[in-house]
Amino acid sequence: MKLSIEKKDYSKVKSEAVVLGVFEKFSFPKEPFCKTIEEEAKKARFDGNVGESFFLKGTHFDGKVVLVLGLGKEDEYSIEKIRVALSNAVRKLKERFIESAVFAIHPEKSKDDFKETISTIAEVIVLTNRKFDRYITDRKKLFFGLNEAIIVIKELNKKAEEGIKKGKTLSEAVVFARDLITLPSNEVTPTYLAQEAMSIAKAYNFKAKILNEKECKKLGMNAFLTVAQGSKNQPKFIHLTYQNENAKKSIGIIGKGLTFDSGGISLKPAQGMGAMKSDMSGAAAVLATMKAIGELKPEVNVEMIIAACENMPSGKAYRPGDIIYTMSGKSIEVQNTDAEGRLTLADAITYTQKQKVDEIIDLATLTGACMIALGPDIAGIMGNDQNLINSLISISKKTGDSLWQLPLEEGYFRFIKSPIADICNNSSVRWGGAITAGLFLKFFVEKKIKWAHIDIAGPAYRDDDLNENHKAEGAGFGVRLLVNYLLGQKKV
Ligand code: BES
Ligand code: ZN
Ligand code: ZN
């Protein structure tokens, strides 16, 4: 899509439609058609609430369709409100098969930073507009949404230009993550993820290391390899490094990379198993983050780690009851082969700690329990450093990747004690599963390292159409959160 920002009167821009934002208790622009709007607004029961909208009858300003969009209270106008209102508007345009639109939604009135406001507008337009349709062979039946969007503003300045660049970069990265998640496991294998990582490394000059099974074995990554052993698809351990000359800190970002999770011998029920192609959503998020930081160049060093493999039942698969030694030397009793993510992450954490990082953030579709606790829109965050958790939560409020902190209650460690090994991969009780999974990971984190774990099982993959997201697609959850967190490091 062609996306641009212009200092122009919306009525003078050439396009098929105009989205005209109005605040609650609106007073319409002094235009000849303003009386018509007021009458039609009344008829449409339109109050200007966030996301309310209606199409004006006929066309205006040289044949344009006009969508009047509610932006809520003027003094509360913010990035959060823009996300809701604008995604509704783009959906409406799509329903009318509109291909080009000008957006007059007053970004200068937002309470938030102007650059971030413009970036958000760009993100919402691109992401709401786009739908995953690669496998539909009858292309004639498809409507591809807007192919041109123009945002009009009062003053063109540096912040506006930077906002557009950031918004484009972020939305491209999120689309990249969504594609990876939505593509099925017969395409996206561990090798495929490794190839994607290699092409990102090439494009941005990152150091790249892809370890095969033999090399992982040498390093003692038995927990990771044990999960992988049931599948004929070879595991790949993926490590990218981004370095910035002004960096004062090194941050490890780890993504759970199960390209398919059947549950293994502890097989999952058939219903909904297909969605487990999305069990690499953490990996997709960290890969997409690397793509974005290659463009935006934050002042920090980043080590990106993915232990990519597939969890399958077979004659070679691991079994409940097996005991394995991790790369850290600690032993794990396996009681459920479906609790595989924490096994792969245990070795990934140990490896990352050897890269001399100051902090680790991991993103993982780790537990159904987290989804039960927080529902489909919110991820759970846990960790050993409240400042790190607080900064991530505060950033998430602006990026739209909602987080809620769960307590890493030490007392619950008793549920994952093993009578014959150092720890068990399955809890002895049914409750608190997101927390016991968090405690399991914590067992492998050195005390000196600040660590946050984000369980994205709920929001990683969409069952419903919501705002920027589409049904049965990956959400790209966490990409904007991580990128903004890394960009914020320059002040440290
Ligand atoms: N990948 C799943 C978690 C998951 C469930 C992600 C639903 C997204 C949606 C994970 O590997 C898993 O199966 N976890 C088990 C852990 C249990 C066996 C301790 C779970 O949550 O049931
Ligand atoms: Zn599982
Ligand atoms: Zn899993």
- DSSP per residue over 90-148, as a string? HHHHHHTT--EEEEE--GGG-SS-HHHHHHHHHHHHHHHH----TT---GGG-----SE
User: Closest ligand 1 atom to the C-alpha of 268?
Assistant: 13
Query: How many angstroms is it from 82 CA to the middle of ligand 1?
Result: 34
Residues 6 or more apart in contact with residue 325 via CB below 8 angstroms: 220, 222, 223, 331
Ligand number nearest to the C-alpha of 367: 1
Question: Which residues place a Cβ less than 5 A from the ion ligand 3?
Answer: 258, 261, 279, 341
Asked if residues 417 and 423 have their Cβ atoms less than 8 Å apart, the reply is yes
Query: How many angstroms is it from 492 CA to the middle of ligand 2?
Result: 38
Over residues 423-446, the mean pLDDT reads 98
Query: How many angstroms is it from 169 CA to the middle of ligand 1?
Result: 32
Q: Is a pLDDT exceeding 70 seen at residue 18?
A: yes
As for ligand 1, residues whose beta carbon falls within 6 Å of it are 261, 279, 336, 338-341, 365-369, 371, 426, 433, 457
Query: How many angstroms is it from 448 CA to the middle of ligand 2?
Result: 29
Query: 342 an active-site residue?
Result: yes
**Residue of 178, 342, 450, 462 marked catalytic:** 342
Residue nearest to atom 16 of ligand 1 (CA): 339
Residue nearest to atom 17 of ligand 1 (CA): 339
User: Closest ligand 1 atom to the C-alpha of 336?
Assistant: 18
Best probe residue, ligand 1, of 271, 280, 318, 338 (max atoms within 8 Å of C-beta) = 338
Over residues 387-416, the mean pLDDT reads 98
H or E element in which residue 482 lies: helix 479-487
Query: How many angstroms is it from 343 CA to the middle of ligand 1?
Result: 12
| Cα–Cα dist 25/75, whole Å | 12
Over residues 256-273, the mean pLDDT reads 98
User: Closest ligand 1 atom to the C-alpha of 261?
Assistant: 1
Residue nearest to atom 18 of ligand 1 (CA): 339
User: Closest ligand 1 atom to the C-alpha of 433?
Assistant: 19
Query: How many angstroms is it from 252 CA to the middle of ligand 1?
Result: 24
Strand 100-104, strand 148-152: pairing? parallel
Per-residue model confidence (pLDDT) at position 31: 64
**Residue of 94, 168, 268, 330 marked catalytic:** 268
pTM listed for this prediction? 0.97
Over residues 464-480, the mean pLDDT reads 96
Per-residue model confidence (pLDDT) at position 35: 73
Query: 134 an active-site residue?
Result: no
Q: Is a pLDDT exceeding 80 seen at residue 27?
A: no
Using alpha carbons, select from 292, 309, 284 the residue that is nearest to residue 206: 292
- DSSP per residue over 298-344, as a string? -SSEEEEEEEEEEE--STTS--TT-EEE-TTS-EEE-S-TT--HHHH
Could you tell me how many residues make up the chain?
Answer: 492
User: Closest ligand 1 atom to the C-alpha of 256?
Assistant: 1
Range in 39-53, 195-209, 344-358 with the lowest mean pLDDT:
39-53
Q: Is a pLDDT exceeding 70 seen at residue 491?
A: no
| Cα–Cα dist 379/93, whole Å | 30
Ligand number nearest to the C-alpha of 426: 1
Asked if residues 492 and 391 have their Cβ atoms less than 8 Å apart, the reply is no
Residue nearest to atom 7 of ligand 1 (CA): 368
User: CB neighbours (10 Å) of residue 386?
Assistant: 11
Give all domains of the chain, ordered by start, each with its CATH number.
Answer: 2-153 (3.40.220.10), 176-491 (3.40.630.10)
Query: How many angstroms is it from 366 CA to the middle of ligand 1?
Result: 6
Percent of the chain predicted with pLDDT > 90: 95
Question: Which residues place a Cβ less than 5 A from the ion ligand 2?
Answer: 261, 338, 340
Over residues 258-269, the mean pLDDT reads 98
Q: Which class for 95: exposed (0-12), middle (13-18), buried (19 or more C-beta within 10 A)?
A: exposed
User: Closest ligand 1 atom to the C-alpha of 425?
Assistant: 19
Selected residue with higher pLDDT from 137 and 32: 137
Per-residue model confidence (pLDDT) at position 39: 87
Asked if residues 337 and 263 have their Cβ atoms less than 8 Å apart, the reply is yes
Per-residue model confidence (pLDDT) at position 492: 42
Asked if residues 425 and 443 have their Cβ atoms less than 8 Å apart, the reply is no
Q: Is a pLDDT exceeding 70 seen at residue 160?
A: yes
Q: Is a pLDDT exceeding 60 seen at residue 200?
A: yes
Query: How many angstroms is it from 147 CA to the middle of ligand 1?
Result: 39
Q: Is a pLDDT exceeding 60 seen at residue 318?
A: yes
Residue nearest to atom 22 of ligand 1 (CA): 368
Best probe residue, ligand 1, of 227, 367, 423, 436 (max atoms within 8 Å of C-beta) = 367
Best probe residue, ligand 1, of 312, 343, 362, 366 (max atoms within 8 Å of C-beta) = 366
Per-residue model confidence (pLDDT) at position 33: 67
**pLDDT interval class at 28 (50, 70, 90):** low
Question: What SS3 class is residue 391?
Answer: helix
Using alpha carbons, select from 414, 467, 421 the residue that is nearest to residue 436: 414
pLDDT, tens digit, for every residue of 361-386?
Answer: 999 999 999 999 999 999 999 999 99
| Cα–Cα dist 162/158, whole Å | 6
- For 381, phi then psi, to 5°, come to -120, 135
